[in-house]
Chain A
Amino acid sequence: MSEPTDLTIAEARDLLAAGELSSRELTEAQIGAMEAGRGLNAYITETPEIALDMAEASDRRRSGGEAGKLEGIPVAIKDLFCTRGVPTTAGSRILDGFVPFYESTVTANMFAEGAVMLGKTNLDEFAMGSANLTSYYGAAINPWRARGDDRERVPGGSSGGSASAVAGRMALGATGTDTGGSIRQPAAFCGVVGLKPTYGRCSRWGVVAFASSLDQAGPMARSVRDAAIMLGAMAGHDPRDSTSADMPVPDFEEDIDAGVKGMRIGIPREYRVDGVPGEIEALWRRGVRWLEEQGAAAVEIGLPHTKYALPAYYVVAPAEASSNLARYDGVKYGLRVESDDLTAMYEQTRAQGFGAEVKRRVLIGAYVLSAGYYDAYYLKAQKVRARIADDFREAWRTVDAILTPATPSAAFRADDPPADPVAMYLNDIFTVPVNLAGLPGLSVPAGLTHDGLPLGLQVVGKAFDEATVLRVGRAIEAAAGFDARPAGR
């Protein structure tokens, strides 16, 4: 048996079922790994006592003959999910001292399926960022290093703590949330699998909102199968979220190995972008070849409005964020900076409570919604969004899934991030259109750069067809044989 912390969820599940491993043993091993890996700052809050209690309860359930889909599996929870009795920060100072008295639907679903919570993972403040550099609790670090360069790499963002924890063997899996790429980009940067499900597949109830029409929770894990197992435990209709889809949740694992024979895979020409390194283009071509070798047909397709996706996203997402973040005002919970009068209290609380990136987006959002600008920005962006969704709908007439690179680069250095916000926003160029269209997208580790950093490919599917996305992802995973490990710890 390999180290318990090296197991996939599927492997651990089998060992637990066979009685060769207890959840308590597995959880203790994870707690040890968390302590050893603290240098990566992947966790904002570790909850070892809760984890051990949950593990013991799981072992008792199992000995009583009960076992949920994630029975006894220790996982990390992005600190954007409200967890009852455990501080929830959203990576922001403004939620100082906030301890929810309710449990998000997704975590409640996972716990009901037996999952064990190890702690709350680091993230960009309010999930706004692509490098985990905007967290009030300090940057999370990528366990990967370039060959011959020991300087720290960013784990991507916003679910950077989750990606770092999974890659660094500090959790078997983790939850993430993805508004414009926040699961898929850090997964690619850290060499793990990340799935953003269809909008509406997982309940948003109890997840701190960034941009309501785009936010979607999803799994991050070390194999496609693990992502499928986790999604099955996370998903489901929730009457408390009016945007949650009343759709049956299939067994995502069932057909995962069914292969891609006869499938038509779309290769969007608009995703060939200037400035993307040749090795990413090459990896993409390799991905196409792997699928063709397994019997799929590659079809070049057009997604003509792709170039408008990022600008539209940076109107819609900040607009919703500016309104969603209005509740953090110092009145009810979290940080309050006492001042002489109400207006000063608001101003001081929000000035000191929010970081620069959050302020930037709140300002952009307030601007694009303001009188006289609404039509030119917000309304226009919504129209663009509809066109982008139409592009994909058109594509589904000819293809079953779409393959693209996950990111335009590998993990960059924490001390040398993109120079300006727009350069940083370009990180999400391949992922953002998928959110705007509400579709499922999967990032699968598929290779390494010349200097040994992981790269991912993205599989996009039809709405609520995560099963096909996972099947294609599994085919790539199998062909890529990605078994490199981070050297960072």
Chain B
Amino acid sequence: MAATIEGATGVWEYAIGLEVHAQIVSNAKLFSGASTAFGAEPNANVSPIDAGMPGMLPVINMACIEQAVKTGLAIDGAVNAHSVFDRKNYFYPDLPQGYQISQYKQPVVSGGHLEIELEDGGTRRIGVERLHVEQDAGKSLHDRDPSSSHVDLNRSGVGLMEIVSHPDLRSPEEAATYVRKLRTILRYAGTCDGNMQEGSLRVDVNVSVRRPGGALGVRCEIKNLNSIRFLRRAIEVEASRQVGVLEAGGEIEQETRLFDVGRNVTRPMRGKEEAHDYRYFPDPDLPPLRLDRAWIDRIAASMPELPDARRARFMRDYGLSAYDAGVLVAEKENADFYEAAAEGRDKKLAANWVISELFGQLNKAGRTVDESPVGAAALGELIDLVADGAISGRIAKDVFAWMFETGKGAAAIVEEKGLRQVTDAGAIGAEIDGVMEREAAKVAEYRAGKHKLFGFFVGQVMRASGGKANPKAVNDILRAKLGG
């Protein structure tokens, strides 16, 4: 999946590293008791600590730390028994303290990695340098008033995990796959809801280019990408800008840039004279964070099943293909739905139903599995009707479409519409007799040796039965009658 860039002077390679900011799932903020609920009235969820009032002090919310530890374990990172919160100092109206409390030199998790699935079916291991915990800033609103800006501090102080990868990613597509994979892991671990629209997951990307196999080039950081589509585009645009500069004999300056979606370019975020010196130093309000080994072990022992393990289990225990298993586990809700629908049934058949029929309909309707009008039990009932021979697979697809549309059960629809499959030999024989009578000339041709007409007769009989005749019975009886 590695991609290259064709420059005027030859081929260039991408080197991409990601900094993912994942909002921690928690009831309260990282250093205050205020709520983290999304969508509240502006400044409704603000404690005096979040507002940077004089004399206010932060207190670590250990529920947030537990979430960070979980995430660290989920990416095979090393949880540090001793870590330190630092202050990152800069002025901005939505940063009420005048500094962000973050972790600088001693993060709570060091190292780690995750496997990304490549298009060719293989996987690649992407290294994670660190995971640290920090507080989010508020939000500046510039569109409320022509003469002034407003500040909403609801998000101020909400806990974030910053997960920093090594520059191991080799194409915009790999970067996208990494974000999707990380998001899946976070959602399985229950530590971040991964909602990019609401800003629960934000991505900064470091991009550099180099000659294949050469040393890493100078990188630029593009901040605050809030969709995977923009991430991909920003990387492409920035890499080709860098190739252009380098091929013209210029040098890349390490800087922070913003992606201008409208003009499809990246541009420097601030001039050099405004470059920030964050003056990091340990926050004197917070003693070092010390984690008890036994506490970490308890968290490790209670970790939920993660996507890679689930995918492997689907392949091993259910005989699913790597592709199908991958599709099913990508969203935890989908995999949960599948497992419920497949319970006590043919696993592969259930996988087909979920992937092709259910996902197809959901896609068309623009819904998630949680919003599906057909529940896992209802889908299971439909699968059972096919397995029992009560309806044919073809009819079942129609039944599913009706179920999706009306929310009614499979059996009810089959009864209501009289779709139960006909297996009675007498009834099928009568239909066959009728067809043979109408198509006497073709019967003669068949009997003269034109056996490829068999399919034609099957089709006629099925149509005459309204699709309800059992195909196997039709085959058997028809063959006997034509043979006679």
Q: Which residues of A contact B (CB under 8 A)?
A: 81-82, 88, 90, 95, 98, 100-102, 104, 204-209, 211-213, 239-243, 319-320, 322-323, 325-327, 329, 331-333, 342, 346, 366, 369-371, 374, 378
- Which chain B residues border A240 with CB–CB below 8 Å? 57, 59
Q: List 12 A-B contacts (CB under 8 A).
A: A204-B57, A240-B57, A241-B57, A323-B89, A323-B98, A326-B89, A327-B52, A327-B96, A327-B98, A332-B51, A366-B279, A369-B89
- Which chain A residues border B57 with CB–CB below 8 Å? 204-205, 240-243
Given contacts A326-B89, A346-B91, contact A209 B59 (CB under 8 A): no
Interface window among B247-255, B281-289, B396-404, B439-447: B281-289
* Bound-state Cα–Cα, A207 to B99, Å: 19
Chain B's interface: helix, strand, loop or mixed, by majority?
loop
Q: Which of B54, B99, B284, B285 contacts A208, CB < 8 Å?
A: B54
In the complex, are the beta carbons of A100 and B54 less than 8 A apart? yes
* Bound-state Cα–Cα, A326 to B90, Å: 8
Chain B nearest CB, measured from A205 CB (Å) = 5
- For B60, the closest partner residue in chain A by CB is A242
Q: Which of B48, B54, B281 contacts A378, CB < 8 Å?
A: B281
Within 8 Å of chain A (Cβ to Cβ): is B87? yes
In the complex, are the beta carbons of B279 and A323 less than 8 A apart? yes
In the complex, are the beta carbons of B277 and A371 less than 8 A apart? yes
Closest 8 CB pairs of A and B: A326-B98, A212-B284, A369-B279, A213-B284, A327-B52, A206-B55, A208-B54, A331-B93
Within 8 Å of chain A (Cβ to Cβ): is B322? no
Given contacts A242-B286, A371-B277, contact A332 B96 (CB under 8 A): yes
Given contacts A100-B53, A240-B59, A323-B99, contact A342 B279 (CB under 8 A): no
Within 8 Å of chain A (Cβ to Cβ): is B429? no
- Which chain B residues border A100 with CB–CB below 8 Å? 53-55
* Bound-state Cα–Cα, A319 to B284, Å: 11
- For B55, the closest partner residue in chain A by CB is A206
Q: Which of B51, B99, B281, B287 contacts A319, CB < 8 Å?
A: B281
In the complex, are the beta carbons of B55 and A326 less than 8 A apart? no
Given contacts A239-B59, A242-B287, contact A369 B281 (CB under 8 A): yes
Within 8 Å of chain A (Cβ to Cβ): is B151? yes
Interface string of B80-102 (1 = CB under 8 A from A): 00000001010101001111000
- For B59, the closest partner residue in chain A by CB is A242
B residues 219-276 with Cβ under 8 Å of A? Answer: none
Within 8 Å of chain A (Cβ to Cβ): is B58? yes
- Which chain B residues border A242 with CB–CB below 8 Å? 57-60, 285-287
* Bound-state Cα–Cα, A212 to B58, Å: 12
Q: Which of A95, A320, A326, A342 contacts B54, CB < 8 Å?
A: A95
In the complex, are the beta carbons of A104 and B55 less than 8 A apart? yes
Most buried by B among A322, A326, A342, A378: A326
- For B31, the closest partner residue in chain A by CB is A242
In the complex, are the beta carbons of B48 and A102 less than 8 A apart? yes
- For B49, the closest partner residue in chain A by CB is A240
In the complex, are the beta carbons of B285 and A331 less than 8 A apart? no
* Bound-state Cα–Cα, A327 to B151, Å: 15
In the complex, are the beta carbons of B151 and A331 less than 8 A apart? yes
In the complex, are the beta carbons of A370 and B277 less than 8 A apart? yes
Chain B nearest CB, measured from A209 CB (Å) = 7
- For A239, the closest partner residue in chain B by CB is B59
Given contacts A327-B54, A332-B96, contact A320 B284 (CB under 8 A): yes
Chain A nearest CB, measured from B21 CB (Å) = 22
In the complex, are the beta carbons of A209 and B55 less than 8 A apart? yes
In the complex, are the beta carbons of A208 and B55 less than 8 A apart? yes
- Which chain A residues border B97 with CB–CB below 8 Å? 326-327
* Bound-state Cα–Cα, A241 to B98, Å: 19
Chain A nearest CB, measured from B452 CB (Å) = 82
- Which chain B residues border A325 with CB–CB below 8 Å? 98
Chain B nearest CB, measured from A384 CB (Å) = 16
* Bound-state Cα–Cα, A232 to B99, Å: 35
* Bound-state Cα–Cα, A413 to B211, Å: 73
- For B54, the closest partner residue in chain A by CB is A208
* Bound-state Cα–Cα, A366 to B57, Å: 21
Most buried by A among B89, B96, B277, B281: B281
- Which chain B residues border A326 with CB–CB below 8 Å? 89, 91, 97-99
* Bound-state Cα–Cα, A149 to B54, Å: 41
* Bound-state Cα–Cα, A333 to B98, Å: 13
Most buried by A among B57, B60, B87, B287: B57
- Which chain A residues border B285 with CB–CB below 8 Å? 209, 212, 242-243
* Bound-state Cα–Cα, A204 to B285, Å: 9
* Bound-state Cα–Cα, A2 to B460, Å: 122
* Bound-state Cα–Cα, A326 to B151, Å: 17
Chain B nearest CB, measured from A253 CB (Å) = 29
- Which chain A residues border B280 with CB–CB below 8 Å? 369, 374
* Bound-state Cα–Cα, A345 to B26, Å: 36
Given contacts A243-B287, A323-B281, contact A205 B55 (CB under 8 A): yes
- Which chain B residues border A207 with CB–CB below 8 Å? 55
* Bound-state Cα–Cα, A206 to B53, Å: 9
Q: Which of A205, A329, A333, A370 contacts B91, CB < 8 Å?
A: A329
- For B47, the closest partner residue in chain A by CB is A102
- For A345, the closest partner residue in chain B by CB is B93
